């Protein structure tokens, strides 16, 4: 819950973003998500050179999944840290992050893969029909894409916005080529846990607005 003062600061910040961006081409549900990312990062590139890209079914599918109590599988604990904790409680969404499990490290060493790859494989049952949120590790995103191509999972939504230099842009481009899986991603190297959390928080706001209308 926001205090009245906190809400007034947030509202003023959002108005500043609107004023600085001016004309944009996002629709009425896409823009609150992009604006939330900008608010979380103070980076206007997410509406510019590193613009956010939406699959045509992304928002509807993500909102429906959240309302239906889907699991949310994240690549790193930093994404969890940025979430409004009340939302998953209210909608009974299980948050899954296996990256710190010692068994994941053991398997990763044995198979010469990253922990992020193995942690995603280990969450197969939660990914299928759930929402995947990748804000840090491009290898996590690529692993989920491979799982989709193998036909072993069909997520309701993939949020792929990893930050970095090695395979970050490439993994996002690969995600954007998936035709039958809803996704939210962005162009370029920018991204990060705070951006990923912002997208989920914004989706929850859209869900609450829809339910209260």
SS3 188: coil
Annotated domain spans of the chain: 49-212
**CATH architecture of the domain with range 49-212:** 3-Layer(aba) Sandwich (3.40)
Q: What is the pLDDT of residues 164-194, one digit of tens each?
A: 999 999 999 999 999 899 999 999 999 999 9
Give the pLDDT score at 48: 87
pTM of the model: 0.95
**CA–CA gap between residue 83 and residue 77 (Å, rounded):** 10
**CA–CA gap between residue 172 and residue 189 (Å, rounded):** 9
Residue 77's H or E segment, with its range, is helix 77-81
Distances (CA, A) of 18 to 8, 15, 31, 89, 208: 15, 5, 10, 31, 22
What residues act catalytically? 39
User: What residue has token string 């949120």?
Assistant: 133
Bridge partners (DSSP) of residue 157 are 131
Q: What is the pLDDT of residues 5-41, one digit of tens each?
A: 878 898 899 999 999 999 999 999 999 999 999 999 9
For residue 50, pLDDT over 90 is answered with no
Q: What are phi and psi of 93, to 5 degrees?
A: -95, 120
């Amino acid at each position: 819950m926001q205090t009245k003062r906190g809400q007034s600061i947030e509202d003023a910040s959002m108005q500043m973003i609107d004023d600085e961006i001016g004309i944009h081409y996002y629709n009425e549900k896409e823009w609150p998500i992009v604006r939330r990312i900008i608010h979380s990062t103070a980076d206007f590139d997410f509406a510019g050179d590193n613009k956010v890209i939406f699959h045509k079914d992304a928002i509807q599918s993500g909102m429906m999944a959240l309302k239906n109590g889907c699991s949310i599988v994240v690549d790193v604990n930093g994404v969890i840290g940025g979430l409004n904790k009340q939302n998953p409680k209210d909608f009974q969404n299980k948050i899954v992050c296996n990256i710190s499990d010692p068994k994941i490290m053991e398997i990763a060493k044995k198979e010469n893969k990253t922990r992020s790859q193995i942690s995603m494989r280990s969450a197969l049952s939660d990914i299928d029909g759930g929402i995947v949120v990748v804000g840090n590790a491009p290898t996590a995103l690529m692993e989920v894409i491979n799982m989709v191509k193998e036909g072993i999972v069909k997520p309701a939504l993939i949020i792929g916005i990893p930050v970095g230099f090695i395979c970050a842009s490439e993994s996002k481009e690969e995600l954007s080529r998936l035709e039958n899986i809803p996704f939210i991603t962005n162009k370029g190297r920018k991204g990060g846990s705070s951006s990923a959390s912002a997208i989920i928080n914004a989706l929850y706001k859209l869900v609450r607005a829809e339910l209260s209308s």
